[in-house]
């Protein structure tokens, strides 16, 4: 089973897509974990998620960890398929809990009560492609798989 997580096509597609997701989401993860980029840090984010959004503690912490650890892992290409699946769950959860009620479009002009689901759908398409493609070139996954590090499990 582990070999499926690390298996990847040797293309630039996976590389470009995982770097895109990693670059877009790492600032969000850093806001939530370390309070960078104007974020609330772990404690403030957990309080907001559990008290204001009424998320269970495990869901709130999973959101933070996926955005932080998942972004770093995607930038490195480590367990790309696992993190792609994690981001699919994250984005579907965000879309249904926070964005779908606001319609389709993002709130570029501040005229809506919140963000629509446009970005969520776009990002889901990217991570679904990563789930199928794998981490691609320049990924830890590619190195692990080609070096047969998991040979005993294959």
pLDDT at position 154 is 44
pTM score: 0.86
Cα–Cα distance measured from residue 100 to residue 125, given in angstroms and rounded to the nearest whole number: 16
List pLDDT tens digits, range 132-147: 999 999 999 888 877 7
List pLDDT tens digits, range 31-76: 999 999 999 999 999 999 999 999 999 999 999 999 999 999 999 9
Q: Would you call 144 helix, strand, or coil by DSSP?
A: helix
Q: How many CB atoms lie within 10 A of CB 123?
A: 20
| Confidence band, pLDDT 50/70/90 cuts, at residue 150 | low
Contacting residues for 87 by C-beta, under 8 A, at least 6 apart: 21, 25, 66, 70, 123, 127
Q: Give start and end residues of each alpha helix (H) in the chain.
A: 2-6, 12-34, 41-47, 57-65, 71-76, 80-94, 118-133, 140-146
Q: Where are the domains of the chain?
A: 12-146
For helices 12-34 and 80-94, angle between their N-to-C axes, nearest 10 degrees: 60
Cα–Cα distance measured from residue 81 to residue 145, given in angstroms and rounded to the nearest whole number: 13
């Amino acid at each position: 089973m582990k070999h499926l997580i690390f298996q990847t096509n040797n293309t630039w597609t996976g590389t470009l897509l995982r770097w895109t997701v990693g670059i877009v989401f790492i600032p969000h993860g850093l806001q939530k974990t370390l309070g960078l980029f104007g974020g609330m840090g772990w404690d403030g984010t957990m309080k907001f998620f559990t008290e204001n959004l009424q998320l269970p503690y495990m869901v709130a912490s999973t959101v933070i960890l996926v955005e932080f650890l998942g972004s770093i892992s995607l930038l490195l290409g480590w367990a790309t398929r696992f993190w792609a699946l994690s981001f699919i769950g994250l984005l579907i959860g965000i879309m249904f809990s926070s964005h779908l009620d606001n319609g389709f479009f993002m709130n570029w002009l501040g005229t809506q009560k919140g963000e629509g689901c446009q970005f969520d759908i776009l990002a889901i398409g990217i991570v679904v492609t990563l789930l199928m493609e794998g981490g691609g070139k320049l990924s830890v996954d590619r190195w692990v798989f080609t070096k047969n590090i998991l040979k005993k499990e294959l």
